[in-house]
Amino acid sequence: MSKVYFYYSAMNAGKSTVLLQSSYNYHERGMRTLLFTPAIDTRVGPGKVKSRIGLEAEALALQADEDVFAHVKAAHAAQPVACVLVDEAQFLTRKQVEQLTEIADQLRIPVLCYGLRTDFQAQLFPGSAALLALADNLIELKTICHCGRKATMNLRVGPDGRGVKEGAQVEIGGNDRYVAMCRRHYKEALA
């Protein structure tokens, strides 16, 4: 039976790097993968997965109303797909996560999703909440706070470098806007 996997972490844990390595492993064995990323994430251009260490690959940019199951079913009918990989999975809709479960259950293709668990206010993203509820396997990727402890929180910082407490849940950014921290230092940064 194929499964849905959710690899989650705070910022800067190497999620995109692990996704690209997984895809490479399939390709190295002559198997086809399909890569997806939500269209809302435009940091490196539409339809790209890129890691901070420089690895990158083309991906299909998904709009929130797109049916990922239909994309994969059509692609699989044309040429077998061995694995589906999704970057920035926190931005998926619940419906899209449900479609990913159908890819695993009906098409029998494993689905590997990578994303943040929570936002800058320690609230679950819709895609992450759905994956935490529906994925077969949950795998935490670890990164560290500046103190050396495991980072589990994502601090949003303003132009002045200070922690931000309020704002829209989704504000696309990288190291310029977010810092991974342990819970203690996250709380101190917002005090």
Per the rule left: phi > 0, alpha: psi between -120 and 50, beta: everything else, 14 is left
Catalytic residue among 56, 88, 98, 140: 88
Contacts of 30 (CB under 8 A, 6+ apart): none
Counting every residue written for the chain, the total comes to 191
- For 18-75, the DSSP string reads HHHHHHHHHHHTT--EEEEEETT--TT-TTEEE-TTS-EEE-EEE-TT--HHHHHHHH
Classify 140 as helix, strand or coil: strand
Q: Is 166 part of the annotated catalytic residue set?
A: no
- Cα-atom radius of gyration of the chain, to the nearest Å? 17
**Tokens found for residue 188:** 């101190």
Active-site residue list = 88
